[in-house]
């Protein structure tokens, strides 16, 4: 059955049935607005829009994975503030001949991810689209008993650390562009396809880094773009030690296959959804220990400098400026540039 | 200049410049997520998506008005809960050849409306769209010192009241479909075009009705669709007195011109963004007085019955069932059905 046969109200009812009972004090889907209870903590809010043909391609990603990813990329912004995600609103614009099965699988994927992160589906909107499929997600979160970690605040001498691995999502995209589909043909392919199609929001890691980091952001547009955000305040810069970039074996293998430099994928690839934080050297060991408690690796990739500009220390020790303008731009790249 | 020439970051910077300094405790655009201060009151959240070719046509509406309307229709959901809107997130998907001037005028229209309602622009997302222009808005509001008014809660005997006039937005759409453009050629045309292109959210009225109403919703999809929402709980129904429907002279005049029955526009037209509330008879006079303080009329249009179903009492006294399935459906009507 297609969505135009089911109609808007039928579709909303189907989505409604997938909703779990919200916790006490919350009111979810079904009224003019959702209700969230009073709280002694402040709230965080962030929105993302995903457009078919720009952020994902339906041929490349199954609806369940897309639902999971739509949640994760949005929650990543809350993680980057050191917050706990609480509630989510999803609006979706559907071509009228979209299969109802597709929509249900998408919402089931969202429900699965929401469950995993303990987040309530609060509401949203369901409309027809004469063009591509469009997903717009807004997440509400909280910072428990403290202030959020902003992008502003890094100090010269702070160590730049990243969670997990970088470049893997871009390696997964390279496979998808080459016709490889989930789950891939071996462990390597599956590993980088997972990074691209089913990224995780680093909520636990963000919570643990919050009391230690001077500044933090998530890596959604490549490391360089995020470094630019981090050093835009107060006349500081960053030096990156290329040998220390956490490129894993699977990413390196896929890069070799396509004769690409995996460092370029780290710098400009985008969609890793790892965290980048500036941590004072005295807290570095503590940060690493805290993250090991939630099975997330933390890698020191650079240092905050007292002069503006981004430089990379090459493996041969040569220091070169990083191209700050190479970053990902959704208006320049109207061709499909990413997978969700 | 077109948006793809300016680029995503340039566009965000331009939007950023239109942002006012947020109030104390708020952090707006510029970080991974916006921050809202702790509060003793609960929060409300609602999202709407507007798609070009479905919800508006760029040839029919100027970007400033569209920005104002995008805010108002979203704030209307907060008004319908008896809440005060506080903050807004806007995501926008732009065809790459969109003029930067257009985008700036749109955001200026939003800023004007946000100012009018005392709401902070908290953030959002800016992406390219290979299809139509897409606007997704999420509003956050609060209920000051009390509980919100839900759709559920109407009791048999409650009077059904509506704010303002109904059907005027649909009359404005009829003119637009006929080639008339803002500001129209006379006072009548201007009046109904205003209703369609620049609706207001009934925030003040909602606040004043909150302590008096058993149930409330806003009239976004026509009176019948909203009545269906209101009476879906607890085996109740509604009887509407057609002679009392607040159809103003301008709406009646435009209906006559197109040989339409303005009552059909009230029932199924949509986009009035007035409030529908169920008020016990003992509080009716107080409700009317409270609304006159904010220059909003309140009209008693019907009564809640103790049996399910919707009926209309015709001017000749005959009672007939209302067609509950005539309601507006964004999937059925993929042709342009409304103006913002």
DSSP B220-266: SS-HHHHHHHHTTTTT-EEEEEGGGS---HHHHHHHHHTT--HHHHH
What pLDDT digit, counting tens, does each position of A237-261 carry? 999 999 999 999 999 999 999 999 9
- Tell me the pLDDT of chain A (340 aa) as tens digits: 888 888 777 777 777 777 778 888 888 888 999 999 888 898 999 999 999 998 999 899 999 999 999 999 999 999 999 999 999 999 999 998 899 999 999 999 999 999 999 999 999 898 999 989 999 999 999 999 889 999 999 999 999 999 999 999 999 999 999 999 999 999 999 999 999 999 999 999 999 999 999 999 999 999 999 999 999 988 999 999 999 999 999 999 999 999 999 999 999 999 999 999 999 999 999 999 999 999 999 999 999 999 999 999 999 999 999 988 765 555 544 333 333 3
Which mean pLDDT values do the consecutive 10-residue runs of chain B (340 residues) have? 81 77 85 89 94 91 96 97 96 92 94 95 90 95 92 97 98 97 98 98 98 97 95 94 98 98 95 98 98 96 97 95 72 37
Record: contact B45-A25, CB cut-off 8 A: no
Q: Cα(A166)–Cα(A288) distance, rounded to whole angstroms?
A: 17
Record: contact B331-A77, CB cut-off 8 A: no
d(CA B87, nearest CA chain A) in Å: 10
Query: Which CATH number does A3-142 carry?
Result: 3.30.1330.10
CB A185 within 8 A of CB A257: no
Which residues of chain A lie closer than 8 angstroms to B90, CB-CB?
A: 47
What pLDDT digit, counting tens, does each position of B247-274 carry? 999 999 999 999 999 999 999 999 999 9
What pLDDT digit, counting tens, does each position of A213-225 carry? 999 999 999 999 9
| Nearest partner of B16 among B103, B98, B117, judged by Cα | B103
Give A154's contacts (C-beta < 8 A, 6+ positions apart). Answer: A214, A215, A230, A231, A233, A236, A278, A304
Task: Give yes or no for B145 touching A (CB within 8 A).
Answer: no
Task: Give yes or no for B27 touching A (CB within 8 A).
Answer: yes
Record: contact A25-B9, CB cut-off 8 A: no
Shared fold status for B3-142 and B159-326? no
Q: What is the pLDDT of residue A335?
A: 33
Record: contact A46-B54, CB cut-off 8 A: no
Which residues of chain B lie closer than 8 angstroms to A38, CB-CB?
A: 39-42
Strands of A180-327 (E only): list them: 215-219, 237-241, 274-279, 298-305, 309-313, 319-321
Q: What is the pLDDT of residue A340?
A: 31
Counting beta carbons within 10 angstroms of the beta carbon of residue A289, is it exposed (0 to 12), middle (13 to 18) or buried (19 or more)?
exposed
List, as ranges, residues 310-329 from A with C-beta within 8 Å of B: 327, 329
Q: What is the pLDDT of residue B7?
A: 78
Q: What is the pLDDT of residue B8?
A: 75
What pLDDT digit, counting tens, does each position of A224-238 carry? 999 999 999 889 999
ipTM of the complex: 0.91
Which residues of chain B lie closer than 8 angstroms to A23, CB-CB?
A: none
Q: Which two tokens stand for residue A262?
A: 């995996």
Interface test with B, best of A32, A98, A336 (most B CBs within 10 A): A32
Q: What is the pLDDT of residue A245?
A: 98
Q: What is the pLDDT of residue A331?
A: 53
Q: Cα(B55)–Cα(B214) distance, rounded to whole angstroms?
A: 31
Q: What is the pLDDT of residue A339?
A: 31
d(CA A76, nearest CA chain B) in Å: 9
Q: What is the pLDDT of residue B12?
A: 77
Task: Give yes or no for B233 touching A (CB within 8 A).
Answer: no
Record: contact B54-A132, CB cut-off 8 A: no
Record: contact A51-B331, CB cut-off 8 A: no
Task: Give yes or no for B232 touching A (CB within 8 A).
Answer: no
Domain locations in chain B as residue ranges? 3-142, 159-326
Record: contact A332-B4, CB cut-off 8 A: yes
Q: What is the pLDDT of residue B24?
A: 86
Q: What is the pLDDT of residue A271?
A: 95
Residue B153: cis peptide before it, omega within 30 degrees of 0: no
**Closest Cα in chain B to A41:** B38
Record: contact A43-B48, CB cut-off 8 A: no
* Superfamily designation of domain B159-326: PurM-like C-terminal domain (3.90.650.10)
């Amino acid at each position: 059955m297609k969505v135009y046969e089911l109609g808007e109200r039928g579709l909303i009812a189907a989505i409604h049935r997938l909703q779990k009972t919200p916790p006490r004090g919350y009111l979810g889907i079904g009224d003019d607005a959702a209700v969230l209870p009073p709280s002694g903590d402040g709230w965080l809010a962030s929105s993302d829009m995903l457009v078919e043909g720009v952020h994902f391609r339906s041929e490349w990603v199954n609806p369940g994975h897309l639902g999971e990813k739509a949640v994760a990329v949005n929650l990543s912004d809350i993680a980057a503030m050191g917050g706990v995600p609480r509630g989510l609103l999803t609006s979706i614009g559907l071509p009228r001949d979209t299969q109802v099965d597709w929509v249900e699988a998408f919402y089931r994927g969202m429900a699965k991810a929401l469950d995993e992160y303990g987040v309530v589906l609060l509401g949203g909107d369901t409309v027809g689209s004469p063009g591509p499929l469009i997903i717009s997600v807004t997440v509400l979160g909280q910072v428990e008993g403290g202030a959020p970690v902003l992008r502003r605040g890094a100090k010269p001498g702070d160590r730049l650390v990243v969670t997990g691995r970088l470049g893997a999502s871009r390696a997964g995209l390279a496979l998808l562009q080459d016709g490889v589909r989930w789950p891939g043909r071996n462990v390597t392919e599956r590993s980088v396809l997972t990074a691209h199609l089913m990224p995780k929001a680093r909520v636990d890691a963000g919570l643990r880094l919050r009391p230690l980091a001077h500044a933090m952001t998530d890596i959604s547009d490549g490391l360089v773009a995020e470094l630019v955000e981090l050093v835009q305040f107060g006349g500081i810069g960053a030096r990156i030690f290329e040998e220390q970039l956490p490129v894993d074996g699977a990413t390196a293998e896929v890069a070799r296959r396509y004769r690409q430099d995996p460092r370029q994928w780290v710098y400009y690839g985008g969609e890793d959804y790892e965290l980048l934080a500036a941590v004072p050297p005295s807290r570095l060991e503590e940060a690493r220990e805290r993250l090991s408690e939630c099975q997330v690796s933390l890698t020191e990739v650079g240092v905050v400098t007292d002069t503006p500009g981004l430089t990379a220390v090459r493996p041969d020790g040569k220091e070169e400026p990083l191209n700050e303008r190479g970053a990902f731009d959704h208006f320049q790249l109207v061709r499909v540039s990413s997978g969700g």
